[in-house]
């Protein structure tokens, strides 16, 4: 089995080295393909691939990885996954491990995560995927906690159905100090709670104000630290992390809405059919 390891913190980040070593410990073939620079918050973006001739990449030698092939690409992690899946770095992988992200990815904020976006991109190719993150903390970061858990999940992923995507978030503690591990529902919280206009001086920030053409301004963001609030529901991923539990959540990417959207789709079609020249047309068959 072939395992692709990627991340959004960059190919030189310590988390990806720990994850690659954990992947190699399972005895499977491993290749590392990740952005040359930090692409945190990129989601499943691929960048302007249609406006350039190709994607630059370079070989890396990361201390401790031995002869594991390691490449940095000029693009976000989802693009790294796509390139690996279409033969850019050898045979198509079977499993994708994304991380270890320094900072958890829980709740609705996960949709903005490059770590999670890379895993969901791989799922569209029918691969089995794991996104793994550890709560932000000062050095020394116990990378071995999420790395050990990720390695343990490799055989589980290998036997899972195509497209399976798991999201694992762990507290910043050694494995033997982990309070617990539970299945967490996806929380409803987001990353940004509010924004105010900052003038650059010591005056009180104001709500957003309109600017005349050509003038610039700054919006100061009020950011939520995911998993830090005790007000979130305790059985969500964010709620578990807030109580120092690790959380495991299964995710799905882009898919068509279910029957709950039929009425609005029917209404939208009828409204569009009212336009001159817009009809259902002939049956495709």
Q: Clarify whether residues 48 and 158 are in a common domain.
A: yes
Helices (H), strands (E): how many in the chain? 6, 11
Give the total number of structural domains in the chain. 2
Q: Clarify whether residues 206 and 179 are in a common domain.
A: no
The per-residue pLDDT for range 273-282, each reduced to its tens digit, is 999 888 888 8
Q: Clarify whether residues 34 and 165 are in a common domain.
A: yes
Q: Clarify whether residues 94 and 17 are in a common domain.
A: yes
Tokens, residue 85: 């899946």
Q: Is residue 281 part of a domain?
A: no
Q: Clarify whether residues 126 and 27 are in a common domain.
A: yes
Q: Clarify whether residues 78 and 178 are in a common domain.
A: yes
The CA–CA distances, whole Å, from 90 to 23, 55, 87 equal 17, 16, 5
**Distance in angstroms (rounded) separating the CA atoms of residues 120 and 99:** 13
Q: Is residue 266 part of a domain?
A: no
pLDDT of residue 24: 96
The per-residue pLDDT for range 143-189, each reduced to its tens digit, is 999 999 999 999 999 999 999 999 999 999 999 999 999 999 998 76
Q: Is residue 279 part of a domain?
A: no
Specify the CATH number for the domain of residue 102.
Answer: 3.40.1210.10
Q: How many residues does the chain have?
A: 285
Query: Do the beta carbons of residue 205 and residue 217 sit within 8 Å?
Result: no
- In this structure, is the dihedral angle defined by the CA atoms of residues 115, 119, 122 and 127, taken in order, positive or negative? positive
DSSP codes of every residue in 14-26: HHHHHHHHHHHTT
Q: Clarify whether residues 198 and 171 are in a common domain.
A: no
Q: Is residue 106 part of a domain?
A: yes
Q: Clarify whether residues 118 and 215 are in a common domain.
A: no
Range of the domain at 211: 192-223
**Distance in angstroms (rounded) separating the CA atoms of residues 262 and 274:** 19
**Distance in angstroms (rounded) separating the CA atoms of residues 271 and 32:** 49
Look at 272 and 233; give whichever has higher pLDDT. 272
Under 8 Å CB-to-CB from 248, ≥6 apart: which residues? 166, 167, 168, 181, 182, 183, 184
Q: Is residue 130 part of a domain?
A: yes
pLDDT of residue 230: 46
Q: Is residue 17 part of a domain?
A: yes
**Distance in angstroms (rounded) separating the CA atoms of residues 254 and 256:** 7
The per-residue pLDDT for range 58-112, each reduced to its tens digit, is 999 888 888 999 999 999 999 999 999 999 999 999 999 999 999 999 998 899 9
Structure pTM?
0.87
Q: Clarify whether residues 74 and 202 are in a common domain.
A: no
Phi and psi at residue 218, to the nearest 5°: -130, 130
Quote the mean pLDDT of the chain.
89
Q: Clarify whether residues 233 and 110 are in a common domain.
A: yes
Under 8 Å CB-to-CB from 226, ≥6 apart: which residues? 103, 104, 105, 106, 107, 109, 189, 191, 238, 241
Query: Do the beta carbons of residue 144 and residue 174 sit within 8 Å?
Result: yes
Tokens, residue 151: 């390695």
pLDDT of residue 64: 85
Q: Is residue 271 part of a domain?
A: no
Q: Does the pLDDT value for residue 20 go beyond 50?
A: yes
Under 8 Å CB-to-CB from 235, ≥6 apart: which residues? 182, 184, 185
**Distance in angstroms (rounded) separating the CA atoms of residues 15 and 142:** 10
DSSP codes of every residue in 255-274: ----GGGHHHHHHHHHHHHT
Q: Is residue 96 part of a domain?
A: yes
Under 8 Å CB-to-CB from 240, ≥6 apart: which residues? 182, 184, 227, 234, 246, 247
Q: Clarify whether residues 83 and 207 are in a common domain.
A: no
Confidence class for position 203, pLDDT limits 50, 70, 90: low
Q: Clarify whether residues 132 and 96 are in a common domain.
A: yes
């Amino acid at each position: 089995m072939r395992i692709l390891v990627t991340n959004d913190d960059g190919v030189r980040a310590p988390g990806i080295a720990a994850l690659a070593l954990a992947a190699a410990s399972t005895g499977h073939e491993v290749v590392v393909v990740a952005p040359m620079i930090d692409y945190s918050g990129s989601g499943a973006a691929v960048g302007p691939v249609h406006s350039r001739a190709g994607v630059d990449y370079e070989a890396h030698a990361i201390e401790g990885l031995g002869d594991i092939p390691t490449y940095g690409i000029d693009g976000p992690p989802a693009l790294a996954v796509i390139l690996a899946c279409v033969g850019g770095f050898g045979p198509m992988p079977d499993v994708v491990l994304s991380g270890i992200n320094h900072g958890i990815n829980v709740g609705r904020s996960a949709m903005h995560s490059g770590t999670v976006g890379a895993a969901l991109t791989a799922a569209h190719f029918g691969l089995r995927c794991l996104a793994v993150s550890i709560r932000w903390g000062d050095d020394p970061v116990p990378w071995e906690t999420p790395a050990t858990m990720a390695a343990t999940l490799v055989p589980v992923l290998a036997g899972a159905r195509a497209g399976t995507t798991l999201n694992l978030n762990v507290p910043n503690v050694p494995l033997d100090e982990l309070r617990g591990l539970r299945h967490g529902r996806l929380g409803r919280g987001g990353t940004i709670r509010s924004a105010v206009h900052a003038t650059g001086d010591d005056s009180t920030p104001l709500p957003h104000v309109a600017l005349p053409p050509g003038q610039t301004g700054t919006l100061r963001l009020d950011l939520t630290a995911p998993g830090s609030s005790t007000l979130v529901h305790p059985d969500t991923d964010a709620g578990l992390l807030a109580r120092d539990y690790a959380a495991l959540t299964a995710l799905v990417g882009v898919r068509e809405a279910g029957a709950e959207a039929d009425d609005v789709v029917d209404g939208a079609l009828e409204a569009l059919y009212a336009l001159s020249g817009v009809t259902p047309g002939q049956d495709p068959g």
